[in-house]
Amino acid sequence: MAKYALGCFGILVIILVILLIGGCSSYNGLVSLSQDVDSKWADVQTQYQRRADLIPNLVNTVSGAANFEKSTLTEITNARASVGQVKLDPSKAPTDPQQLAQFQQAQDQLGSALSRLLVVSERYPTLQANSNFRDLQAELEGTENRIAVARKNFNDSTQAYDTSIRSIPAVFFAGAMGFTNKPYFQSTPGAAVPPTVNFNFGGATPAPSP
């Protein structure tokens, strides 16, 4: 009987050791995944900051064009100010979906305003001939591409993390250890629709064709 009890105890110890090792491995994996999400978030913030830093010089260059649409410049200035009002830690991914949604909305509004500016600028030959403007335009377009890549990488990393905390064995302890879901960037409705541009600068609206 004693040997049977000792054997059962030994099996129980082995099971506990296996669970402990598995739990430690799972915990370490979650830490690594969480840090990767934070790293990808920092990349996103870096690219958005790169775009924000381009705007003052871009606005100054564009404002020098005669009769340039002032409402577009005002829209960009206001949108950039709105982005600055959304305060998020650049080194740590947000855990509040509403905060991320506010951040994304502000950034998308700024992106839309910049897209409108580039479309409007095509109607100004002197602006298109300005080498400084062309350089800024190329840098801005490259930055927008980097933003798209950074956001995709962030979403992919967040998906891997969120999947892990819902999987066995992490699902049994993740919440208690402080590992909670992280929100994604969502696709913006109508983001693929080009901005409407009115080139009738202060003039009367032409009558519709019969």
pLDDT of residue 210: 36
CATH number at residue 107: 1.20.120
8 Å CB contact between 113 and 79: yes
Answer whether residue 16 is part of any domain: yes
In a domain, 40, yes or no: yes
Q: Does 180 reside within a domain?
A: no
Domain membership of residue 107 (yes or no) is: yes
Is 201 a domain residue?
no
Mean pLDDT, the chain cut into blocks of 10 residues (210 residues total) = 59 55 70 94 95 92 80 90 90 92 94 91 88 92 94 96 90 87 79 39 36
- Cα–Cα distance between 116 and 197 in angstroms, integer? 7
Q: What is the pTM of this model?
A: 0.78
pLDDT of residue 206: 37
Residues in CB range of 157: below 8 A, 6 or more apart: 33, 36, 37, 39, 40
| 63 lies in some domain | yes
Task: State which residues form the domain around 34.
Answer: 2-172
Q: Cβ(165)–Cβ(180) under 8 Å?
A: yes
* pLDDT at res. 170: 85
